[in-house]
Structure 1
């Protein structure tokens, strides 16, 4: 439903584009940027961009389209919702029960069953005499439901009373579970979406494609990939929504079966209709695939759900993949609205685009994972495979992204597939972290309900996903589109920087600048550092609780035999802390070695220069990250169930310890002769060192999170710890744990707060011109066409119109007896208009192609000179200046014609 509401506005805008309106990407192309990137802040605030958006990007419709289209959907869906009950009883398919139950015996039995089900109101009963199946169906809404009894069911009521009772209890369970309104509201909304949005979108876009292929065959190669995806998008959404609806309905049927069974329904009725089980792998696989499209689960599964609660609380692959795909589509459809209204790049808008998909994945996938973990702990069953569930979640996000023209526009595949793999990696990490953190907190929580810690876990997961989607929509899709941009944003040539020591460390300087440039994209997300901190601080707090029998566990489970009590396998915090101290100690040694080595470059005076600072910054940061990696590996090998959690804690602890060594040794530079690097005198310089390493520390914290997850994955794949590494509740040293946790949390929150509040200094990076990747001929040609159609052509037409007015004025002067007076009186508005054209052309976007720029600049300069000289001659009554100015009009016209000719040539030769 969220996907339907969000996509309705963006797909309607696309339909309007197909009908002849311009989309917001045109202004982005006209400015010389690519349509797959966010407009820079200076561009978004520029006069040219705002004027272009106001004129061409549906700004006149922006006030009502996002509200009107969902409003039309709601109205249409509401009409369908109230018409569906009437439609289901059309043509004699819904005969009132009273017409067939003359003595009222059937109605009394139904009322008795409704009383057994605890229904406050007896539903309305109708009969479908022509239905040959012995079933029933409930429809309408929760407050006024209707139950349609099939004719065969009534016919067999006397011969199979238990079957009749089971079927009715099952339908009453749907009413009791309040399934009816939501089910038919979703059906109505989906049908309204097909009629109001999908069909116009498909028809309009298909017409646009046909028109493009017929009238602009030269654009075929450029638009085929993008148009193919746009045409397949409605089909993909149909499949996505249908699969999601079928999965929800199957789950609803299982819960209704369990509810009816709890009310006393005979379990043998679930075996009577079950077919023989299929044999053979191929047939079973085919059966599982066809079941995805059915609204009712197979009988074996329904029978198992009556006695095996794991069927209801398991983590299935389908909802994980569907939620990932839907979340990416929601992110893309919301992002598509930004360029239309000129809000792209603004922090509030980035949050609006990132938050809904994060909430969706957390609410569906995260909640399912947390419920499965708690269920597994209470029943002693094996917890689901977080790797498998995470793979399906990440694969769903990749599949959804493949139908959006963000990472692939004029090409079939992403320019850098490695970046796309990050979607799968994020899915695995998300599921793994929620699984382990939920299990950790369920093991130590003693409250009366398990909901508070689970909500805390999901809130942190949602924060991390919001930061991820923020980065993905602003930078990730750009990196995925352009091959090699993440690895080398400088175009492949190492920048030459004065002061490089003997030229021996240029590769180090280059690596530092590359990493800094790419980490800048990550650190530009305000939510990133709070998310990184919360990912390890929240699970760390679990070690401050007392391990004892939790009050939220039902007493019946505690008294049952064979039920494991949560809290029996919490890792020793001492081992995790020692792993962090080991990594921090190794960082201290490596930092001291770096300082000692750099001291040998030029012992007296100490080494100075920007390149030396970059080398020191790069090596010491690498030392801290390496220490974090060692700490994560060692901690992961000491844990059995919480490898990712302890890896994150140990890695971030190692960063705090390593950075404290870096800070101490750098702030006292000059006090230890063999480690003196930059200062010639001993002193205490904390403020200068903090400012110098403020930005690197932010990047180190993010990188430590990444290396910790990788380390945990490697250990999980290759290491099996021994049982001695886990402890039971009585042996835990609670006071010491609380002191350790307090120190770590204070340091983590304090540093994160300081990094966010204290303004960062100007980046101390060399003055290097970062080269953007060379745009392809296709994109550059498209930019030229967009630049011409979104303002350039209008400016040239305005010039021609003024020239024509000047010609008409000259003709009138020739026919008049006092020609000079007529000419001078009408010349001022013409000269003023020339100046306005020059002003507007100067405010417009620069020409995106080098072939156009000389003629365009000449045109602007001549327009300005004509206006200035003409008005000055009129003010001073200097006829010779007026004549000289008018002679330049012809030169300006030649320059304007040159601009148009070059644009036409580029358009014709476009690949």
Structure 2
């Protein structure tokens, strides 16, 4: 009899096996790439990509934060340099070859096993043919064809069996002791055979054989050479302590840790999957008629002490007999989200991001992060989706909440991220490792939300249930993606301690916003740091979709339940909306208090009130909106027993809309608020003022407030649970899931739809505001200029490059230069050959053209008192010199601080002289004789200044080439 299709897919472990094999395969790409790079790299000059990093100021002896700041000085130049490097496909080619070898091992593995083990066909020990007939009957009962053969392993005396083979060719090997057991315990014999046939039915042999072949080939071809390469590198560095790579020796431990973590992960994950498949094979065998009494067997005695057996259990591929009997007694245990599985899945997902993000065909920049995290999210949802749905369908509280499983998933993401970041870090431990705890929220929030929404789906009519399931799945996936993307766009920099790198963002505010920032020093610091945290996700459409669905989907599910389910959920909806409205009214009071506190004292000049004073007010309103929404979500979740996260999100959204209305109305009526007035002293209604203030508040808070409220709800519910347990109050027992009710005529349908629209319309409008393009601003340019530190933009207008300057008018270099001469020589060499020489050559060509024109004028003027000069020709040449000088200035700072100061001063001298030459060669319409003489004098002086400046540039460039250990001449014509 053929089992039903639903039962044939009951294991649910296929996606996890696929994830494991994909992870192993993709991990081979960077491992092969690193190994090939190390074999072909010149340790005195580095590889092409590393040369770009060294040109940007990378120092193996510096910390992560300092190196990140150096890379952020000229991010566009660094990105361009990296893009110009030839893509290496050696890792992909080697990985493809590894897959081919693994496929060959998988295909010929049965033959290799047959040569090593002695087995004979069943017919050789079946004198009367009864054994073959019984085995054929069991094979037919299992729905398997005659391609499955049975053999006897005469060398093994235990009463067990095993399956070998590959797709289409399987063989069940019966131990000799099992044939003896057939005569004494026929039911036990049938149970063992049916168990092995269940393995074939579930395709466990294919998964086990394929994963074993791939892993063994991966270890031999990729992992061991990778570890050997690092061992050899450390040996060379120990012999050559003067190498510039010597300071990076400790960081190589991070690469080794990643490889060792991958070994432990694969072994644990594979063992866990095989144990789970053993449980499913037991259940299938019992369903086919095996006697459960066959599993009442004692634990085998081995070298492991009983007290240590439970600690070594995760390492074994076969569970103990006690575990098997427990699962047979309670098959529902397999539907639960086991902590070990969640942890291993989380680590796999983090390692998968590290493997995917270094593929040579992946896009660059932010697109790379979205693509990589999107693939990680898809993998997690594919692996955990069905299993989480089954777990959420249970009625016990632990399974319904999903908190424990989410925490273990987040912990796995945390461990994997910590290890993966070692591929790009110098420090083994980041400066702020406590921020890694955010992954606990990243993994828990979407899983809890998904678990609670699934409990509301059965109450919907049949036609709407599938649509709601798809929408909720999309919302959970986007929420997980949002959390991962926040980490990529902001968290990774916060963990390095560079949320406001070198004070660049704070400085940009002081330069773009007028007013006296002196009284607001602490506010400015909080503004710069907080804006970085909130702006990571504020204009990302997928995040906005997740923010809307997180509260809108639960609201619709609550309101449009069937008749029976609606009677149960109606009190929850009423209490939630009542609490939300109450909190919303309270939030208006909070807005008024904040307005009053920030308005006293205020500048006397009205113009001053529209600058720094108003920006600080708007910032604290942004903080108020975010904090109040999070507090509202935490309070509602703390006082809710059922669906606490869903109710908290609905309440937080209502409060959020109240807050937006309060901010808009308070500034639209500015001037009528007495001591709380911000700018105006005249009472009048101004919608433009309200919109001007409310838009930045909405833009920075909408996405963040919803996601923050979800995290706060998790914390609030957890604290409330601890308090209730401390007070010994019993937990509320959950009723069984309501049966789907037939959709009948509802008189209140229009009222419910109106309630949804009343909340949905302003929320969608807020989303449009969040994702609308802001007005062009020079804030980002100034922040980049401040971050560049050394020079700023060549074309920056006067007075906009504020801050303390040196004697040459240049900003002092931020950060600390390297003190290792070998590292500095490598940096200087990379600085020259990754763009320095090319820029100097173009600068030299422009100067040579100008010199040639000057030579022509001198030749024409020999023996004459006056000579005619073609202003248009000189104007063009001077413009070209100025542009080439700007281009040369707009490059990575020279690694040596003193040489950078001289280099910058010399180039600025040429640029100033070229600009004066450009201005002096512009013919005015009406020019007096005195003005003409003045212009001629300015023109002659600018040319002399250009010559002197070029001489300084030549001298400094010669010093740079000497420091770099290069033979390149001052015009960059040799040793390039």
- Using the alignment, how far apart are the partners of 1:772 and 1:41 within structure 2? 7
The aligned runs of 1:246-265 (5 Å cut-off) are 246-265=271-290
- Using the alignment, how far apart are the partners of 2:595 and 2:280 within structure 1? 66
- Using the alignment, how far apart are the partners of 2:605 and 2:665 within structure 1? 21
Shift, 1:318, TM fit: 1.1
Where 1:541 maps in the other structure, the secondary structure is: helix
Determine if the alignment matches structure 1 residue 395 to structure 2 residue 411. yes
Shift, 1:371, TM fit: 1.7
Determine if the alignment matches structure 1 residue 788 to structure 2 residue 828. yes
- Using the alignment, how far apart are the partners of 1:760 and 1:707 within structure 2? 29
Determine if the alignment matches structure 1 residue 584 to structure 2 residue 584. yes
Where 2:318 maps in the other structure, the secondary structure is: coil
Determine if the alignment matches structure 1 residue 430 to structure 2 residue 443. no
- Using the alignment, how far apart are the partners of 2:698 and 2:692 within structure 1? 10
The aligned runs of 1:759-908 (5 Å cut-off) are 759=774, 762=777, 775=815, 784=824, 787-792=827-832, 845-854=892-901, 856=903, 895-900=956-961, 902=963
Shift, 1:254, TM fit: 0.3
Match of 2:25 in 1: 5
- Native 8 Å contact 2:443 2:480 kept in 1: no
Match of 1:562 in 2: none
Assess, with a 3 A threshold, how the Cα gap between structure 1 residues 763 and 687 changes in structure 2: closer, same or farther. farther
- Native 8 Å contact 1:494 1:510 kept in 2: no
1:777-810 CA-partner distances (Å, limit 9, x unpaired): 5699898455434351588999999xxxxxxxxx
1:249-282 CA-partner distances (Å, limit 9, x unpaired): 001010010010011101011012446999xxx9
Match of 2:759 in 1: 744
Mean CA deviation greater in 161-170 or 29-38:
29-38
Match of 2:380 in 1: 361
Match of 1:111 in 2: 136
Shift, 1:13, TM fit: 1.6
Determine if the alignment matches structure 1 residue 15 to structure 2 residue 76. no
- Native 8 Å contact 1:784 1:849 kept in 2: yes
Match of 1:140 in 2: 165
Mean CA deviation greater in 516-525 or 308-317:
516-525
Match of 1:705 in 2: 707
- Native 8 Å contact 1:416 1:483 kept in 2: no
The aligned runs of 1:556-571 (5 Å cut-off) are 568=568
Aligned length: 825
Shift, 1:458, TM fit: 3.4
- Using the alignment, how far apart are the partners of 2:519 and 2:382 within structure 1? 53
Assess, with a 3 A threshold, how the Cα gap between structure 1 residues 631 and 467 changes in structure 2: closer, same or farther. closer
- Native 8 Å contact 2:452 2:643 kept in 1: yes
Match of 2:364 in 1: 344
Assess, with a 3 A threshold, how the Cα gap between structure 1 residues 733 and 636 changes in structure 2: closer, same or farther. farther
1:325-367 CA-partner distances (Å, limit 9, x unpaired): 1111111222334xx67943142x2221111222233333454
- Using the alignment, how far apart are the partners of 1:183 and 1:400 within structure 2? 24
Assess, with a 3 A threshold, how the Cα gap between structure 1 residues 788 and 569 changes in structure 2: closer, same or farther. same
- Native 8 Å contact 1:213 1:220 kept in 2: no
Shift, 1:306, TM fit: 1.5
Shift, 1:293, TM fit: 0.8
Where 1:302 maps in the other structure, the secondary structure is: helix
Shift, 1:320, TM fit: 1.0
Structure 1: any 5+ residue segments left out of the alignment? 551-565, 802-833, 866-883, 906-911
- Using the alignment, how far apart are the partners of 1:722 and 1:571 within structure 2? 21
Match of 1:809 in 2: none
The aligned runs of 1:251-650 (5 Å cut-off) are 251-274=276-299, 286-337=308-359, 343-347=363-367, 349-374=368-393, 376-377=394-395, 383=399, 386-406=402-422, 409-442=425-458, 444-447=459-462, 453-482=468-497, 505-523=520-538, 525-547=540-562, 568=568, 572-596=572-596, 601=601, 608-650=609-651
The aligned runs of 1:674-693 (5 Å cut-off) are 676-679=677-680, 685-686=686-687, 689-693=690-694
Where 1:523 maps in the other structure, the secondary structure is: coil
- Using the alignment, how far apart are the partners of 1:271 and 1:342 within structure 2? 54
1:400-456 CA-partner distances (Å, limit 9, x unpaired): 2232345983323211123212122322333333332333435x3443897765554
Match of 1:754 in 2: 769
Shift, 1:522, TM fit: 3.6
- Native 8 Å contact 2:577 2:651 kept in 1: yes
Mean CA deviation greater in 145-154 or 98-107:
98-107
Structure 2: any 5+ residue segments left out of the alignment? 1-20, 42-46, 790-813, 842-880, 913-944, 967-976
Assess, with a 3 A threshold, how the Cα gap between structure 1 residues 346 and 491 changes in structure 2: closer, same or farther. closer
1:642-671 CA-partner distances (Å, limit 9, x unpaired): 222222221122111110121123234345
- Native 8 Å contact 2:664 2:693 kept in 1: no
Shift, 1:761, TM fit: 5.7
Where 2:462 maps in the other structure, the secondary structure is: coil
- Using the alignment, how far apart are the partners of 2:763 and 2:901 within structure 1? 56
- Using the alignment, how far apart are the partners of 2:481 and 2:182 within structure 1? 55
Match of 1:225 in 2: 250
- Native 8 Å contact 1:496 1:506 kept in 2: no
- Using the alignment, how far apart are the partners of 1:836 and 1:595 within structure 2? 50
Shift, 1:237, TM fit: 0.9
Mean CA deviation greater in 856-865 or 601-610:
856-865
Q: TM-score, normalised by structure 2?
A: 0.74
Assess, with a 3 A threshold, how the Cα gap between structure 1 residues 858 and 738 changes in structure 2: closer, same or farther. closer
Where 2:156 maps in the other structure, the secondary structure is: coil
- Using the alignment, how far apart are the partners of 2:822 and 2:567 within structure 1? 62
1:805-862 CA-partner distances (Å, limit 9, x unpaired): xxxxxxxxxxxxxxxxxxxxxxxxxxxxx99999997676332442331455589899
- Native 8 Å contact 2:159 2:176 kept in 1: yes
Shift, 1:465, TM fit: 1.9
Where 1:404 maps in the other structure, the secondary structure is: helix
- Using the alignment, how far apart are the partners of 2:97 and 2:687 within structure 1? 61
Determine if the alignment matches structure 1 residue 717 to structure 2 residue 719. yes
Mean CA deviation greater in 87-96 or 323-332:
87-96
Assess, with a 3 A threshold, how the Cα gap between structure 1 residues 890 and 585 changes in structure 2: closer, same or farther. closer
Match of 2:10 in 1: none
Where 1:336 maps in the other structure, the secondary structure is: coil
Q: TM-score, normalised by structure 1?
A: 0.79
- Native 8 Å contact 1:655 1:700 kept in 2: no
Assess, with a 3 A threshold, how the Cα gap between structure 1 residues 5 and 92 changes in structure 2: closer, same or farther. closer
Assess, with a 3 A threshold, how the Cα gap between structure 1 residues 432 and 602 changes in structure 2: closer, same or farther. closer
- Native 8 Å contact 1:415 1:480 kept in 2: yes
- Native 8 Å contact 1:142 1:181 kept in 2: yes
Assess, with a 3 A threshold, how the Cα gap between structure 1 residues 796 and 751 changes in structure 2: closer, same or farther. closer
- Native 8 Å contact 1:12 1:197 kept in 2: yes
